[in-house]
Each structure stands twice: as structure tokens, then as C-alpha cells.
Structure 1
Amino acid sequence: MKTTLIQIYYGLEKLEALRQYRNDAQINEDMEGVLQALYEKNVPAEVQERIESAGNI
């Protein structure tokens, strides 16, 4: 499946504090998990299945 870059605005001080406890790879992994949960919650199952099927061709 193709991927794309997502950029968001977030408070610099908050991000710097977060980086004291998590490295960038961990933060990225966590963000991917949050996006996946949003996807699963909001995209109907039949659409998810169609997208997954198209990726397996």
C-alpha cells in the first residue's frame, strides 16, 4: 500500500517534553496506532475491506 506524509501543528514545548520520555521512532509508532484506531472507528467495514483487497492484488 502506498503511504503519504501527514504533518500536524503541535506545541513545541509539549513535543520537547514528550521527547524526554519517548524517542522519535516510538512517537511515530504511537501516532500510527492512533491514526489506525481513527480509521477503524470511522471508516465503514465494507470500505476497509475494499481497500485491503485492492492492496493485495
Structure 2
Amino acid sequence: MKTTLIPIYYELEKLKTLRQYRNDAELNADLEAVLQALYEKNVPAKVRERIESAGNI
């Protein structure tokens, strides 16, 4: 599966504070989980199935 970088903007002080409680690997995993949930919520099941059966995911 190909991946891509998604740059986002976030307030620096909030990110610094968050990093006191979560390391970068944990933050990345959390963000990936949120994106997956958005994907599943917004992309119809039939479209997801077609993409998955084509081997793209």
C-alpha cells in the first residue's frame, strides 16, 4: 500500500504540551486511527470493499 504525507497546522504550544504526555509514535498511531475512523465513516462500504478487493489497501 502506498502512503502519503498529510501536513497539518496545529498550535505549537498545544503540540509541545501534548508531547509531554505522548511520544511521536503514539501521536502518529492516534492520528492514523482518527483518519481510519473518518475514512470508514465517510466512504460508503461498497466503495471501501471495492478498493480493498482491488488490493489498494
Report the TM range for the smaller structure's normalisation: over 0.9
Offset at residue 55 of structure 1 (A): 1.3
**Counterpart residue number, 2:19:** 19
Could you state the TM-score of these two structures normalised by the residue count of structure 2? Answer: 0.94
Q: Which amino acid in 1 is paired with 2:51?
A: I
Q: Deviations over 1:7-54 (max 9, x none)?
A: 100000000000000000000000000000000000000100011111
Q: How many residues align?
A: 56
More helix by share: 1
Structure ranking higher on relative contact order (CA contacts 8 Å, 6+ apart): 2
Which stretches of structure 1, 4 residues or longer, exceed 4 Å deviation after superposition? none
Q: Secondary structure at the match of 1:55?
A: coil
Could you state the TM-score of these two structures normalised by the residue count of structure 1? Answer: 0.94
Task: Show structure 1 runs of 5+ residues with no match.
Answer: none
What pairs with 1:25-44 in structure 2 (closer than 5 Å)? Answer: 25-44=25-44
Identity value in percent: 80
**Counterpart residue number, 2:54:** 54
